Structure 1
């Protein structure tokens, strides 16, 4: 077993089955140089909360959102404003 594997269980012969370490998908968060929109998943990654928590924040109005068709977007400025409002010690 090398450093890029982990044990996932025992095989029938008394040994261990190993699998490669899963790759973490790249999260594309808009650059601060662009006035981009974020999806809910990107917003959750940006503020470091779960996707479910991000949806709860949106539904209760804690973060402004924009709807285009059936999709929901958060402006980077709105995400930053949310973080600034909820900063401890502010």
Structure 2
């Protein structure tokens, strides 16, 4: 099973207060230029953030929450430095849909 890495914050912060759209657009363009498959996703108000293994995050952020999930740990680390007020972590799953 693959490991997924994530940066989690309130949806308002990630979408409205930070230039996440620009960051993801630039990364997408870079991936296309090097012919690499997209390995990251923006999840808005997803059930992902509310699973028991992430319960500690509910007290840190206002709902709804959003997450950027990736297979690339270095991208999430860079995103943490670039965006700032996000919680990062990892989980192992056979798919992005947790059960």
Query: TM-score, length-normalised on structure 1?
Result: 0.27
Would you tell me which structure has more helix in proportion to its own residues? 2
Query: TM-score, length-normalised on structure 2?
Result: 0.26
- Select the structure of larger CA radius of gyration: 1
